[in-house]
């Protein structure tokens, strides 16, 4: 359970609602279906100062950070409602905070950290990231700035992401326990297999994955969304995936340029052009590169994007990249659904999901990339070298991923991506069991406050 999350990497629940990708992964690890109650508030940044607010899986509003600070307290009843439902269904609910509990300047109206813990009356264990440095100051300093009521909720601490021999931190571990009076619950070493699990934060986006011959290049859009579409490709032995940050050119030697999803398509299209990536894309095309756009990337590939109601900013029409003969019109209705698709070229089934606004239509839509319930989905250019689709999560389907890559001339392995994620989750569970005081953690949960 995470009261409030901030991420543009969203997942879709079986009921057609949005939650954070991390909570969906945690549900998978628990062997239960993801639910909106696991993440009742999801903030999806659209600019440096504003975000879309998803409340219990549905779009609620879009507001600036200052306005959200005023709105937050009114959302606590919904957060507590979701928590109560989960608590009634489960034997154990682990609550994850957001950011730092020590930001006392934001304590009034807090619904994500100590404010939630007080309202729900749950005990707290502080987790410190030693890989960032300064973990002793993190722990001792947190106790120093919290008020007495919040400090009274804290029952212990964990140290996470220690590189090397954990025994080297024995003195620091004892110092934290002595200074704070809190129970130490373990030092968790760095987990080397973490890269096999889907990441949620763009700060964790790997710049390169795989060492294969077939070269996939991905421009890192300013508001990149659902970039976990790349994870199954990075796991392929015959593929290398390079994520290109702003300020660097797109390598024109790419075999495939994949334009990912975006939370703000029109703004990211401007960003794309500002980097000169449209010029690089044209050069790569001349050298034989294929192009695939997913969701917002699909919209960018068309001839125009119209936003008559100003949903993404000023109303109007902007030219697209012109590689697909389709046009997109932004509409207020948001499509959020799980989707069963069939790849038109290979007949392979693929399971994906949609999270988008806008409709895309035009002549190239007559050559759909997929069939969904008998209807066409996505588009393919007349020469077959440019493709687009609204579907996320497609590359998790092993049969489709292999057929797609082999159709482009790439070598594709025979491994199961889902099995690889399960193996990494099992290894993580073993890792935590070996290094954390699980009995101590369970005792804290049983005893409550």
**How confident is residue 200, by pLDDT bands cut at 50, 70 and 90?**
confident
Task: For residue 43, tell me if it sits in a domain.
Answer: yes
Task: Supply the pLDDT for residue 60.
Answer: 95
Residues 171-195 pLDDT 10s? 999 999 999 999 999 999 999 999 8
Residues 399-426 pLDDT 10s? 999 999 999 999 999 999 999 999 999 9
- The boundaries of the domain holding residue 23 are 4-122
**How confident is residue 99, by pLDDT bands cut at 50, 70 and 90?**
confident
Task: For residue 440, tell me if it sits in a domain.
Answer: no
Residues 317-329 pLDDT 10s? 999 999 999 999 9
- pLDDT more than 70, % of the chain: 99
| DSSP secondary structure letters along 40-86 | SEEEEESSSSEEEEEETTEEEEEEEHHHHHHHGGGGHHHHHHHHHHH
Domain boundary among 122, 140, 165: 122
**Which residue reads 């987990």 in tokens?**
191
Question: Catalytic residue at 396?
Answer: no
Residues 229-287 pLDDT 10s? 999 999 999 999 999 999 999 999 999 999 999 999 999 999 999 999 999 999 999 99
Task: State the average pLDDT over residues 200-217.
Answer: 81
State whether 224 and 105 are in the same domain.
no
Number of structural domains the chain divides into: 2
Given a cut of 80, is residue 435 above it in pLDDT? yes
Task: Supply the pLDDT for residue 203.
Answer: 66
Task: For residue 158, tell me if it sits in a domain.
Answer: no
Least confident range of 43-47, 258-262, 338-342: 43-47
Given a cut of 80, is residue 201 above it in pLDDT? no
State whether 229 and 118 are in the same domain.
no
**How confident is residue 16, by pLDDT bands cut at 50, 70 and 90?**
very high
Task: State the average pLDDT over residues 110-128.
Answer: 97
Average pLDDT of the chain? 95
State whether 248 and 342 are in the same domain.
yes
State whether 384 and 245 are in the same domain.
yes
Catalytic residue among 271, 295, 356, 435: 295
Given a cut of 70, is residue 429 above it in pLDDT? yes
In the DSSP assignment, the letter for residue 258 is E
Q: How far apart are CA 446 and CA 289, in angstroms?
A: 58
**How confident is residue 204, by pLDDT bands cut at 50, 70 and 90?**
low
Task: For residue 162, tell me if it sits in a domain.
Answer: no
State whether 209 and 300 are in the same domain.
yes
Catalytic residue among 343, 356, 392, 435: 392
State whether 118 and 207 are in the same domain.
no
Domain of 325: which CATH number? 3.40.50.880
Given a cut of 90, is residue 80 above it in pLDDT? yes
Task: State the average pLDDT over residues 160-168.
Answer: 95
Report yes or no: 256 and 290 within 8 Å, Cβ to Cβ. Answer: yes
Residues 212-234 pLDDT 10s? 999 999 999 999 999 999 999 99
| DSSP secondary structure letters along 113-167 | SHHHHHHHT--EEEEEEGGGS-HHHHHHHHHHHS-HHHHTTEEEEEEEEE-S-GG
Question: Catalytic residue at 195?
Answer: no
């Amino acid at each position: 359970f995470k009261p409030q999350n901030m991420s543009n990497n969203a997942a879709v629940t079986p009921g057609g609602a949005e939650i954070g990708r991390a909570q969906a992964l945690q549900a998978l690890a628990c062997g239960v279906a993801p639910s909106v109650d696991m993440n009742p508030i999801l903030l999806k940044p659209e600019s440096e100062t504003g975000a879309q607010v998803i409340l219990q899986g549905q779009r609620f509003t879009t507001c600036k950070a200052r306005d959200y600070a005023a709105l937050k307290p009114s959302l606590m009843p919904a957060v507590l409602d979701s928590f109560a439902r989960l608590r009634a269904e489960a034997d154990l609910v682990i609550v994850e905070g957001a950011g730092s509990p020590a930001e006392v300047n934001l304590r009034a109206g807090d619904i994500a950290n100590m404010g939630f813990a007080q309202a729900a009356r749950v005990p707290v264990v502080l987790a410190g990231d030693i890989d960032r440095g300064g973990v002793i100051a993190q722990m001792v300093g947190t106790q120093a700035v919290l008020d007495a009521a919040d400090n009274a909720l804290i029952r212990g601490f964990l140290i996470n992401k220690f590189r090397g021999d954990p025994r080297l931190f024995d003195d620091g571990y004892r110092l934290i326990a002595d200074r704070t009076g809190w129970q130490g619950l373990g030092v968790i070493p760095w987990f080397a297999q973490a890269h096999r699990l889907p990441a949620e934060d763009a700060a964790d986006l790997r710049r390169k994955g795989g060492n294969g011959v077939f070269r996939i290049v991905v421009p890192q859009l300013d508001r990149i969304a659902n970039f976990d579409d790349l994870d199954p490709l990075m796991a392929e032995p015959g593929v290398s995936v390079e994520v290109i940050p702003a300020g660097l050119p797109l390598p024109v030697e790419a075999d495939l340029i994949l334009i990912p999803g975006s939370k703000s398509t029109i703004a990211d299209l401007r960003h794309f052009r500002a980097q000169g990536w449209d010029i690089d894309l044209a050069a790569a095309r001349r050298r034989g590169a294929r192009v695939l756009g997913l969701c917002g990337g699909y919209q960018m590939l068309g001839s125009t994007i119209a936003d008559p109601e100003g949903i993404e900013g000023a109303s109007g029409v902007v030219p697209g990249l012109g590689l697909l003969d389709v046009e997109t019109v932004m509409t207020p209705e948001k499509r959020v659904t799980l989707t069963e698709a069939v790849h038109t070229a290979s007949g392979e089934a693929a399971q994906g999901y949609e999270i988008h606004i806008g409709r895309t239509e035009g002549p190239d839509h007559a050559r759909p990339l997929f069939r969904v319930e008998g209807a066409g989905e996505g588009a393919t250019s007349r020469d077959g070298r440019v493709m687009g689709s609204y579907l996320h999560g497609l590359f998790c389907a092993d049969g489709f991923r292999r057929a797609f890559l082999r159709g482009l001339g790439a070598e594709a392995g025979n491994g199961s991506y889902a099995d690889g994620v399960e193996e990494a989750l099992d290894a993580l569970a073993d890792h935590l069991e070996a290094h954390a005081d699980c009995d101590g953690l369970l005792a804290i949960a049983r005893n409550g406050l």
